[in-house]
Structure formats: C-alpha cells, structure tokens
C-alpha cells in the first residue's frame, strides 16, 4: 500500500470541496471576483504534468473538459482560462477559471491582480452547489 494522498495545506485553506472525480479533487477557490475552480490529481509527489503517467494525463484532460463545461454552463462565461503553474504551491493542481470581458482583471490573467475577495458563506455554498449539480453524477 502507498501513502495516502494529502491535499496541500494552502490549497485546502484557500478553497472549498465540490466533488471528487476518478482522478481529481475539484474545489472552489475562495475568491468571489472570479468563478475559479482548482483540480488536484489524487497522486503523491506530483508537481508538473510530466510527472503524471500517460494514462493519468489522458484522464486529467477529459476531467478538465468535464469541469470546464460545468463551469461554463453555470457561469455563461466568455472564455475559460486553464493553467497549471505551481510556482507558489508545488503540489500539482490545475486552475479552471471563468472569464468575462468585464471582470476586474480582463484581459490579464487573474493571478497577481488586486486582492482576493472572500465569498460570503451562503454565496460560496450556492456556487459549490451549482457546480456540483452541473457535473456528471
């Protein structure tokens, strides 16, 4: 038996759980300025896409598509931004962000623009529920 997967503490603090897909934990980033999900492959010691084996990468890209479609359906966004950066938190995670031509960062990426605005709890719960309902069960 391998060691159990443990979510990075900073990712855990900055986000709320939505769903667990076969490969990825899907979570809502706590920033009400942007509908912003993160996906964390439940694999130990991964930092970059090339650390995953090809079978996991094939699952990941289709889970990204599933999550992207759910986010687009809920938000009716203008554009999706999908990225794996990992400069601050090294544990492999994928950002899936709904963008609008009138959001506060457009057309820049969302990172390093202004300051995080936390959701009110009921607002966050509504978003979590909406995304969960839009994901395949």
Q: Would you tell me which residues interact with a second copy (CB under 8 A)?
A: 47-50, 54, 57-58, 60-62, 64-65, 68-69, 72, 79-88, 90, 99, 106-109, 111-113
Q: CB of residue 99 vs a second copy: minimum separation in angstroms?
A: 6
Q: Which is nearer to a second copy, 69 or 124 (CB)?
A: 69
Q: Which of 32, 31, 27, 8 is nearest to 16 (CA)?
A: 27
d(CA 130, CA 132): 5
Q: CB of residue 76 vs a second copy: minimum separation in angstroms?
A: 14
Q: CB of residue 27 vs a second copy: minimum separation in angstroms?
A: 19
Q: Which is nearer to a second copy, 22 or 107 (CB)?
A: 107
Q: What six digits make up the tokens of 63?
A: 């889970």
Q: CB of residue 57 vs a second copy: minimum separation in angstroms?
A: 5
Q: Distances in Å between the alpha carbon of 23 and those of 27, 66, 105?
A: 13, 12, 30
d(CA 44, CA 120): 33
């Amino acid at each position: 038996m391998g060691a159990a997967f443990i979510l990075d503490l900073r990712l855990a603090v900055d986000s709320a759980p939505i769903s667990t897909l076969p490969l990825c934990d899907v979570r809502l980033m706590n920033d009400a300025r942007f509908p912003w999900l993160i996906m964390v492959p439940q694999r130990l010691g991964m930092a970059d896409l090339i650390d995953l084996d090809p079978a996991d990468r094939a699952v990941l890209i289709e889970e990204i598509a599933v999550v992207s479609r759910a986010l687009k359906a809920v938000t009716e966004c203008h554009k999706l931004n999908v990225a794996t950066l990992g400069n601050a938190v090294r544990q492999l995670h994928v950002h899936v962000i709904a963008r609008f031509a009138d959001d506060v960062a457009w057309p820049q990426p969302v990172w390093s623009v202004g300051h995080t605005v936390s959701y009110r709890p009921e607002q966050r719960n509504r978003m979590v529920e909406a995304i969960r309902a839009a994901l395949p069960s």
